[in-house]
Chains A and B, each alone.
Chain A
Amino acid sequence: MLKILTSAVLILSILLFPPATLAFVSQDALPGDSLYPVKRKLEDAVLLFASITPSTKAWFAVAYSGRRYKETASLINKGKNSDAILTVKELVFQTDIAAEEIKKIGNSNQRASLASNLKQTIEGYSKGLEESKKQVGIQVALAKDNNLTDGEETFDEIDNAASPSPSSSAKVTASPRASPTLKATNTPSPTPATTGGGTQSDAQDLQDAIDDARADLEGIQDDLDQIGDLPNPEDVSSDSSLIDSLLIDLGNIDINGLDSTLNSTLNKYNSLFL
């Protein structure tokens, strides 16, 4: 019996070793890394399992928005401006999805709590992005003024003086019994260490993308303001308030925002094709 059990455990360990290793190794992967698609697939899988309740789904969506922020920060730190442009847009997408998921939560307390936490987190993102935009501008100006041909040496010095790792900027904490909360800390900005990985036009595009993202995030924050006040559809006591709450829900669906995101995204990729 013991032999069978030992064999079963051994087989299970061998079978689970590759996915577990992939999950571990890919957790810090960034867009452009070979393991990044693995990380995203694992996220999708987790989200699929988390779809059992709206609150866990919303919680994971919020956590993934934090991941996108960390990735943006890391990419800007590494000077991968063109990748950062796309990831900053993904950050907005994911945050928007998180807000939409929060709207679906039935429990009004939980919904309000998650909405308020996400709002604070977005504020952190916005500040961090603003700071990084300034830093990108400074690096571009420095590179221009000094007419740098070999930026690596100079930017290494800047890197040494860089602010703390951006990975501490958005922390997701969960206690086993209480509802999960997402805390925005002081949000050290993703300070770019170098512009060596991208051109000046990339840097300019990144600054523009950051501006757009901040405006979109502000829009999501406004939506979240209303989410906290939304009545729970199951708690609606009279039909009169049902119509009011449906009108509020309708007002929260930002289709114009979706339209402009759709157009800007498609316009960006349109020129790529032959």
Chain B
Amino acid sequence: MSDEGSDAELVRLARLGNRRAFEGLVTRHGPALYRYGKRMVHDDGATQDCVQETFITAWTSIEHFREESSVKTWLFGIMANKVRREFRRSARQVVVPVQETDLVTDLGPASRAQAAGLLQALERALRTLPTDQRACWILREVEGLTYQQIAEVQAITAGSVRGKLSRARESLGRKLEDWR
């Protein structure tokens, strides 16, 4: 049985209709889902729609969540489907340059400028990756999912995840060469 405030406890309460508990899941996982969505669809409005629909789907189907995967993997799985639907709905991908102010960090001004520069370089490099490689890299390196969890989210095999990650790392690394 889980501790108070854990994902499992929030799911237990939300499943029994407790909206405040579900609010806790939105607060906890919303930033990561948004971060992933924004790097996939490159549009704030579309990202918000995907995140919103992800949580609505989770709220209305939480009775069916069987705890065979983690809450994070479950939510990312729903989100990945919403992103795929967004790709189908609109082939266009609006390229919006990342501004320093698009991201909020706790760093000081000098470190923040350095970090912002690296982040912008990363964002540009990510955009050049095929979407499946980009998704695998973000889920592994930024969100910390295991190969098996990414395979579940992306509906591919763990071996395929390994291959896509390897190519993504090589490609991103070459594009960030100047930052080494």
A and B part of one assembly: no
